[in-house]
Amino acid sequence: MQSQWKMRVPAALALGAVAAGWLLFDSFDSRAAMTAVAEPVPTQIKNTGSEAGDAFLMDLSKAVDPGSRYLAEYEMDQEWIKIAYRERNVRFDQNGMTLTLAKNAGRPPFSGAEFQRNGTYGYGRYEVVLKASDGWGAVTSFFTYTGEYFGDPHDEIDFEFLGRQTRSVYVNYFSHGEKDQAEIPLWFDASQGDHLYAFEWAPESIRWYIDGVKVREVDTTSARVKVPTSSGRVMASIWAASGSAEGWVGEAAFKRTTANYRCISHVPAGRSGSQCSDTFKPRAGS
C-alpha cells in the first residue's frame, strides 16, 4: 500500500480501542476501520542540519544491506551511563533484529547494543514494530537523534520502555538540548508481543501513535519546548543506567536481557511510501 505518511484515527474508534484494551484493524488500509487521511502539507518542507534522506522500509526479518546500517562499537563513560556498545550484541534472523544487554564482570558494567540507519532523516512518519525487554533496569528505545558529535544541537524524538514497568512507555523529545517527557499508560504489556509504534514529525507538531491510536501530541502553539528542527539518525538501542539515571530506570537486576525489532520505516512529509503498518497487524486482545 502506498499511503500518505499522515494518518488519522477516528476519535470514537481510538477511545473504544483503549477502553476495550485492544484495537482490531487490517493494517493501515481504507478497507478497515482505520482511515488514512492525507493532511495538507507545505510545498517546501526542509529541516535544519544535514540533508534529509528519502523514504525507507527495513523488514528486519529479511536480509538487511550492511551498507544501510551502522552497528555501534564504542563506549560511553558518563555519570548517568557506563556501557560498551558492541556489534556482537546485534543479531539478525527470521525473527528480526535482536539487541542484547548483559552485565559485565569488569568495566564498563554493561555491554549493550545500538543500531543506526545510515544517513539523516527529517520531517515525516516513522514506524517501528518491536517487543521491549522486561529486564529490570533495562531501557529499550527507538528514536531519531542528532547532537554535537554530528555538528548539530541536541534534537531527538523517541519511544523509551523501562523493563521495570512494561505497561507504560515514555514518549519524549529534545530541542536544542531541552527535554519534554511524558509517560503513557499502555493497554498491554510491551514485553509480551510485537506492537506498532509511530510518530509523525512536522515543523509545527509531533504526534505519537501506538497500534494506530494517537497517544500524545505537541504543537508550536502550546508546547513547553520548541519542536525540534534538525534532521537526525534513526536509531534503536538497549541500555542500562548508572548514577543519577538509576532513579528513573532502576538498578539493573538482570544478567542478560533482549529486545526484538521486526520492522523500521520512514516516509518523508508530503510523500508516499511503504511502511511497516502496510503488513503488520496487532493481535486482538494483546
Q: Which residue has the cell 510518530?
A: 199
Secondary element (H or E) of residue 102:
strand 96-103
Task: Report H helices in the chain.
Answer: 11-20, 246-249
Distances (CA, A) of 193 to 25, 130, 189, 190, 283: 17, 8, 8, 6, 9
User: Is 246 among the residues known to form the active site?
Assistant: no
**C-alpha 84 chain-centroid distance:** 21
Single out the catalytic residue among 79, 156, 204, 246. Answer: 156
Nearest in space to 173 (alpha carbons), one of 216, 222, 225, 125: 225
Q: Which residue has the cell 492525507?
A: 38
Distances (CA, A) of 74 to 30, 96, 155: 45, 23, 21
Q: Are 262 and 96 in contact (CB under 8 A)?
A: yes
Cα gap 48→142, rounded to integer Å: 21
Q: How many other C-beta atoms lie within 10 A of the C-beta of residue 179? A: 12
User: Is 148 among the residues known to form the active site?
Assistant: no
Identity of residue 127: E
Single out the catalytic residue among 114, 127, 160, 200. Answer: 160
Beta-strand pair 213-219/232-240: unpaired
Residue 208, classed as helix, strand or coil, is strand
Which phi-psi region, left, alpha or beta, contains residue 176 (left: φ > 0; alpha: ψ -120 to 50)? left
Residues labelled as active-site residues: 156, 160
